Amino acid sequence: MVELDLNVIALLLTFAVLLAIIIERLIEALVAPWLPGVVAAAVARVAPDADGARVGSWSLLATGILGGLLAAFGFQVDLISPLAVAAGAAINPALGMALTGLLIGGGSNLVHDVFGMARRFQRPGELIEGESLSMDIPLEVHRV
Residues 6+ apart with CB under 8 A from 71: 19, 22, 23, 77, 101, 104
Cα 98 off chain centre by: 14
What confidence score (pLDDT) does residue 67 get? Answer: 92
For residues 60 and 75, the answer to whether their CB atoms sit within 8 Å is no
Regions of the chain short of the pLDDT cut 70: 1-4, 122-144
